[in-house]
Amino acid sequence: MKNSLLFTLLLLGLFSCVKDDINDTSTSIPDKEARTYAGGKTTIFANTSFSFDNPAPNLSSDNLAMHLAGDMQFEQAFVTAPAAVNPGLGAQFNNTSCISCHPKDGRARFPQDINSNSGFFLRTSIPGTDIHGGPNPTPGFGGQLQNHAIYGKTPEVKFTISYQDLPVHFKDGTTIILQKPIYGITDSYIPMPAQAMFSPRIGPPVYGLGLLEAIKASDLLKNEDVLDENEDEISGKANRVWDPVSKTHQIGRFGWKGGAPSVMVQSAGAYHGDMGLTSPLFPHEADAGQTNGSPLALSTPEISQEILDQIEIYCQTLAVPAARNLDDPMVIQGFQIFEDANCVACHIPKHITGIIQGVPAISNQTIYPYTDLLLHDMGDDLADNRPEFLANGNEWQTRPLWGIGLTNLVNGHTNFLHDGRARNLEEAILWHGGEAKKSKEYYTDLTKKERTSLLAFLNAI
């Protein structure tokens, strides 16, 4: 009897330990304090609707002055020339200001009307490459389709959209219907070449860009595994793109496919493609019909180098919002699931920045952006089938996750991914395929409580 009682107690203790191990949330997230300061010393504790548009708190007085000047430029709306203030809006354009595509320095909402003024647009190219190995501009349209025009001019195209339902089934019997957007064009001002390719894009957040730019190239390349030599089925690669500043190929860090090497080039490219504004980096007009032959170059750029410098500092030195609720047991459990699902293979949590000359605030910072800034095959359902330098039609750059849980508070929506198709974070996970297929399947096998925990972690960082 005594031996039987002892055996029973041992069994109860064993099962108790197993249960405690499964549900144990008493441990803390490693490096919790460092993770809280997601942007290192540029971190700001601002859990408000203005969490994304603050200057980094550690700026020098000179950098702060430049940041504030850039803030003013970021909000400027451009109009038709001639005008006393902000003239030069392209004859064809997608929007009229930086802030219109990056509201409150955050994420653009997917538009209810696909042709309204919004942060949405379509890139275009035809097979082949340009002289630098980049996308080959579509004759008569260039690299981006403009669906608006100034008075007396005609938009290049109007966008169209339809949807295909894609059901996703969870192990617990839950089913979610994803809506796959199918894009097209109509009302083309000239016939669209039959071989033209389109790639949808939507304006991403702009905080923390300087920190991402400051990560050493050698550190990014350490995470490349193009041939999947470690056989984990994940083979990230860096894009190598043309830099019009250095006149060399550099690692692509910005844009949905890593198509821009720096904040400066990304900003000047947005002025040019989105608003039709020339600058020292892009001196040629991008209006419809001028992409063949020799496009017109203005003697005086519409965006000066001084403005580009101000915009560069502004985007480089926006504060990163602090992580929140890292002591919450549900968040702690979600962290463990994030690790176990191997999300960290691409969304690498930690980086240390190098030195950016003239901007000490973003130099030598320990940061937690949760990205490797590398390209990954994300599967056929997310593919745009359009190459961009080394990125093929299935590849996208890993997006940073810091601050993502504040999107609804700041921008009033939860539209994610390169074209805003995901209506919430769960849908964003479910769209993952290709190299991320196993991680998505891990998620669909979880219980409802476990899925909620993972989402709680993502909303916390």
> So what's the pLDDT on residue 293?
43
Contact 197, 157 (CB under 8 A): no
When pLDDT is averaged across residues 275-284 and rounded to a whole number, the result is: 96
**Average pLDDT along the chain:** 93
Cα(213)–Cα(175) distance, integer angstroms: 40
pLDDT tens-digit series, residues 287-300: 655 444 445 666 68
Query: How large is the average pLDDT for residues 172-191?
Result: 98
Is the pLDDT assigned to residue 283 strictly greater than 70?
yes
* 430 pLDDT more than 70: yes
pLDDT, position 287? 63
- pLDDT tens digit sequence for 344-381: 999 999 999 999 999 999 999 999 999 999 999 999 99
Q: Assess whether pLDDT exceeds 50 at residue 148.
A: yes
pLDDT at residue 51 greater than cutoff 90: yes
Closest CA to 346 of 459, 439, 251: 439
State mean pLDDT over 318-324: 98
Residue 108 in this model has a pLDDT that exceeds 70: yes
Separation CA 392–CA 130 (nearest Å): 15
State pLDDT tens for residues 209-227.
999 999 999 999 999 999 9
In three-state form (DSSP H/G/I as H, E/B as E, the rest C), the secondary structure along 212-252 is: HHHECHHHHHCCCCCCCCCCCCCCCECCEEEECCCCEEEEC
Percent of the residues in the chain that have a pLDDT greater than 90, as a whole number: 91
Q: Taking residues 252-270, what's their average pLDDT?
A: 98
The answer to whether 94 and 146 are in contact (CB under 8 A) is yes
Residues of the chain with pLDDT > 70, as a percent, come to: 92
Identify the residue whose tokens are 């984990």: 232
Residue 285: the pLDDT is: 86
CA 35/CA 293 separation, integer angstroms: 52
450-454 contact pairs (CB < 8 A, 24+) = 450/333, 450/337, 451/426, 452/330, 453/330, 453/331, 453/333, 453/334, 453/337, 454/334, 454/337, 454/338, 454/341, 454/429
pLDDT at 135 over 80: yes
For residue 322, pLDDT beyond 60:
yes
Q: Per-residue pLDDT tens for 4-25?
A: 433 333 333 433 333 333 344 4
Q: Which residue, among 74, 36, 80, 37, has the nearest Cα to 56 in the 3D structure?
A: 37
The Cα–Cα gap between 359 and 313 comes to: 8
Length of the chain: 461
Q: Indicate whether 185 pLDDT > 90.
A: yes
Greatest Cα pair distance, the chain, in angstroms, is: 100
pLDDT number for residue 286: 77
3-class state of residue 151 by DSSP = coil
* Closest by CA position to 176, among listed 167, 189, 187: 167
Would the pLDDT of 186 be above 70?
yes
Over range 93-104, report the average pLDDT: 98
Residue 26's pLDDT band (cuts 50, 70, 90): low
